[in-house]
């Protein structure tokens, strides 16, 4: 008795017919009937919604069934120096890598493959960059987007383009795209504005072995970006180290008294050091200054005592000077009164006036002469 087996392939599907696991044919949509005496036939169906044909038979079909491949598949084969832009019904859906060998089902949508010769350029044109930017805003996902480097250079910046580790050019503000295939591509953003650098907590010994902690601020900018990156792998780290070295040279060769007496000395010394070391490096320092000089706790106490002693000594000198001046003035006054009775009498009246200011009431007996003679007595020397 013969056994008839039915296989159904839907309208948006294709089927592969196998006999004991061996490929027989491709089935189009419809109802297919086959005699199967020993239940050896099977069908594997594929939805055309997924156009890529990823199957163990792909290589076999390419090699042994070229007519079937031509009838049912779009072949998208790329050379080693080509990238592909796979489109479905005119819309870009996938970026294909060099050397790709893919089969896509025909029938669901029209497949096209514009090719890019990577040996001629590694830069994407502006229209393609605009297509690839903001992929989440597109109606469908774009496969293979990791194959390109998209770089947005903001205003007041430049992008340093490196290809296989070699600096190629500077990129102005704008949107750029580069193929990653067959090369290493990177873009480093560089701010062209004046920037601030903080050097904090630097522990340095002075020439007289006093430990200081210093905080320094510097303003810097790139004067020649290509020159800086051509000479220095990491320009910012190089600048930081040179500022440290200049600060240590300025502090380590001077005593604490010299530094405290003139803080500008450190700024001038470090600025001169950097001017010599950074000449021709593409980096310039436009301003520099020490913000804080922090002393150890015990050194602060000692300095406070020194300042207190200095001020006390200054106060004593001033006091002695004033006392000497007052004594000299009294001596001059005495000499004037000795030779001039009128001046002596005026001095007596002045003394009486001062005494009267301190007394609420005075009772006078014997007249004004008795008061003067009783209160002020000048003995002849």
pLDDT digits 0-9 by tens, 250-288: 888 888 778 877 878 888 899 999 999 999 889 999 888
Distances (CA, A) of 26 to 15, 48, 68, 214, 240: 6, 14, 8, 80, 69
Helices (H), strands (E): how many in the chain? 10, 19
Determine the Cα–Cα distance for residues 339 and 318; give it in Å rounded to an integer: 32
Looking at CATH, the fold of the domain delimited by 195-295 is given as Tetrahydropterin Synthase; Chain A (3.30.479)
Among 194, 149, 164, CA closest to 286:
194
Q: 297-339 and 341-357 are packed helices; what angle lies between their axes, rounded to 10 degrees?
A: 130
- C-alpha 239/C-alpha 278 separation (Å) is 8
Is residue 214 a contact partner of residue 190, using CB atoms and an 8 Å limit?
A: no
Beta-strand (E) ranges in 240-326?
283-294
Task: Tell me which DSSP letter residue 173 carries.
Answer: S
Ranges of residues in the chain whose predicted pLDDT is under 50: 1, 378-381
Q: In this predicted structure, what is the pLDDT of residue 39? A: 84
| CATH 3.30.479.30 in the chain, residue ranges | 195-295
Q: Distance (Å, rounded) from C-alpha 86 to C-alpha 94?
A: 5
Contact between 71 and 21 under an 8 Å Cβ cutoff? The reply is no
pLDDT score for 73: 93
Cα 223 vs. chain centroid, distance in angstroms?
A: 18
Q: Can you give the pLDDT at residue 301?
A: 57
| Residue 298 φ/ψ, nearest 5 degrees | -70, -30
Report the first-to-last Cα separation within the chain, whole angstroms.
169
Whole-model pTM?
0.64
How far is the CA of 304 from the CAs of 123, 269, 292, 298, in angstroms?
67, 28, 18, 10
């Amino acid at each position: 008795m013969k056994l008839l087996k039915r296989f159904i392939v839907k309208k948006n599907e294709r089927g592969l017919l196998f006999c004991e696991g061996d490929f027989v044919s491709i089935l189009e949509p419809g109802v297919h009937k086959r005699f199967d005496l020993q239940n050896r036939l099977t069908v594997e169906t594929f939805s055309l919604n997924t156009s890529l044909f990823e199957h163990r038979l792909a290589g076999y079909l390419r090699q042994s069934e070229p007519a079937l491949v031509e009838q049912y598949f779009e072949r998208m084969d790329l050379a080693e120096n080509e990238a592909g832009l796979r489109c479905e019904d005119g819309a870009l859906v996938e970026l294909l890598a060099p050397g790709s060998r893919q089969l896509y089902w025909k029938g669901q949508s029209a497949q096209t493959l514009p090719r890019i010769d990577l040996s001629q350029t590694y830069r994407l044109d502006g229209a393609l960059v605009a297509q690839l930017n903001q992929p989440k805003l597109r109606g469908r996902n774009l496969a293979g987007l990791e194959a390109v480097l998209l770089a947005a250079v903001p205003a007041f910046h430049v992008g340093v383009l490196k290809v296989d580790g070699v600096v190629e050019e500077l990129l102005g503000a704008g949107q750029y795209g580069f193929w990653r295939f067959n090369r290493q591509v990177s873009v480093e953003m560089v701010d062209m504005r004046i920037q601030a650098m903080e050097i904090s907590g630097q522990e340095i010994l002075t020439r007289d072995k006093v430990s200081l902690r210093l905080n320094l601020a510097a303003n810097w900018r790139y004067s020649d970006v290509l020159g800086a990156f051509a000479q220095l792998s990491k320009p910012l780290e190089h600048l930081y180290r040179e500022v440290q070295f200049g600060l240590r040279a300025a502090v380590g060769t001077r005593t604490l008294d010299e530094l405290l007496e003139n803080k500008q000395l450190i700024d001038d010394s470090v600025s001169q050091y950097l001017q010599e070391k950074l000449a021709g490096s593409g980096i310039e320092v436009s301003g520099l200054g020490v913000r804080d000089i922090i002393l150890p706790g015990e050194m602060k106490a000692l300095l406070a005592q020194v300042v207190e002693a200095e001020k006390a000594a200054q106060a004593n000198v001033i006091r002695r000077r004033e006392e000497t001046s007052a004594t000299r003035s009294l001596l001059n006054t005495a000499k004037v009164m000795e030779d001039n009775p009128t001046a002596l009498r005026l001095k007596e009246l002045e003394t009486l006036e001062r005494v009267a200011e301190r007394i609420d009431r005075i009772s006078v007996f014997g007249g004004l002469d008795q008061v003067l003679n009783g209160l002020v007595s000048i003995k002849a020397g």
